[in-house]
Chain A
């Protein structure tokens, strides 16, 4: 299975990365090389194997539902490219 230039543009859009036609064309063979290489996993018989999501065999811990952090708005905003009135500011979303 190989990807096309349109696929590359589509993935770039999903990943929210602006990409020129030139960049997409350069990535195309690189992605196909890597994808072709990982496809060797198809040789492995994995019938009945449970996918492994984490190597740590443990139950999720629960804790008391109490506030342990907070009241640090200005610290949270301190690295924001744009903050106004105590909020993150973004370009207009609704026309």
Chain B
């Protein structure tokens, strides 16, 4: 059935429930679209039979009046979530053949809510990258192209497969993870929505670890409402994650309202940084106008330690990564490389030399250095202190505002290969996204419009701890006012 793959999750759910189409028809439509999408390289593993199995269960549940929140909805799963019996490679050669004997809490929650799985989505290796070019499976290509050009663009990263899949209509929604912008930047690059909830809302259990004090799962979908629906199914207390927040999950979808009367929206003066294109600045001003039109009152705020957020992140994240990735030792799972006549240590070294890509090695090396004897306090402890100041900046700012508006990324999607030679230039992609990660705050990207080349730009909303609802509501207010973005025509 054609046309189904253009629909939002809410439209699919409602159409399925009203009998307009069956869950099997939805799953078949998406399975077909996924099968014809190889040029995008978004899926590293396709699981059409799992999507169909859940669809048959959904059709049966409808007949017996036993529907669940996501019955009938197939989704794409970032390849960072452990999925029982299904390849979970984290975009790495290290885990090229890894099939977990268990299910991550978030993917399990989605399945328990009735969702089917279309497959596993490509990503930067171990979620370390902003362009999808560090994947061991080769990079994802964005379905978007600049007007009048066939040059291949990045979908952003690290959740680039998820972003490309939603924009291309080969998944109505997808899971992402965000350590320093990995949901929000690719959402902005592909004209879709993505929300990173408050740290601790979604269980990290079964998500391949990158930087544990920052990693957080979230949904990526075409609309704010779809994000609210998916996040409601993904989030929840999990005793298996010691940083999981034991608090009730609000019905975010039911709470959606674009009336922002009484809300104060903060505009941080420190986010007006040099070198950001004029059209990004223009969109930011326009976004503020839209929020004002929805009833919000703009206020200028100050986040004085903003310029130190990225360097803080690039100490803390690699440090935690170097510790987390020590588990890849060639013993219990993953790749093993033996050295002729060598012992255990040679095996460790050869395995890790062969299994990790260049960016992952670079970050492990940085992390190992900043944690090593003699440098720990100067780098790591120092960064943790600055992180405390960054969190304090937000606490103070939220005394005078209820949410914060910024651009999501300092540019639109760039061409593949354009930034790979300069790690620092690549890191700057997340300049607006990283502070909220360091503070553990909920943050969302929603599409604001297109740039002069016809590429999507995103607006970024940061909320108070646990206040995803205000973030979603402000997102909805922007969505209702921003020019509607037509997803790219199929060329792949």
Binding site for B on A (CB under 8 A): 3, 7-8, 11-19, 27, 30-31, 33-35, 37-44, 46, 49-56, 58, 60-61, 63, 72, 75-76, 78-82, 88, 90-93
Contacts and interface: CB of A to CB of B under 8 A. Distances in A.
Which of A13, A16, A50 has the most CB atoms of chain B within a 10 A radius of its CB?
A16
Given A37-B424, A63-B239, A16 B213 contact: no
Nearest to B325: A15
Interface string B338-353: 1000111111111011
A19 B353 contact: yes
Interface of B: 97-102, 199-200, 213, 239, 242-243, 245, 305, 307-308, 311-312, 314-315, 322, 326, 329-336, 338, 342-350, 352-353, 356, 361-362, 364-366, 368-369, 372, 379, 381-389, 391, 423-424, 438-440
Contact of A38 (B97, B379, B381): B379
Given A16-B349, A81-B335, A54 B424 contact: no
B372 A11 contact: yes
Nearest to A80: B332
Given A17-B356, A18-B352, A30-B362, A55 B391 contact: yes
Contacts of A93: 343-344
Given A33-B423, A50-B385, A88 B332 contact: yes
A90 B347 contact: yes
A56 B440 contact: yes
A15 B299 CA distance: 47
B383 A14 contact: no
Given A33-B423, A33-B424, A80-B332, A8 B365 contact: yes
B352 A16 contact: yes
A71 B335 CA distance: 25
Contacts of B389: 44, 46, 49
Given A49-B389, A61-B242, A76-B101, A31 B365 contact: yes
B366 A31 contact: yes
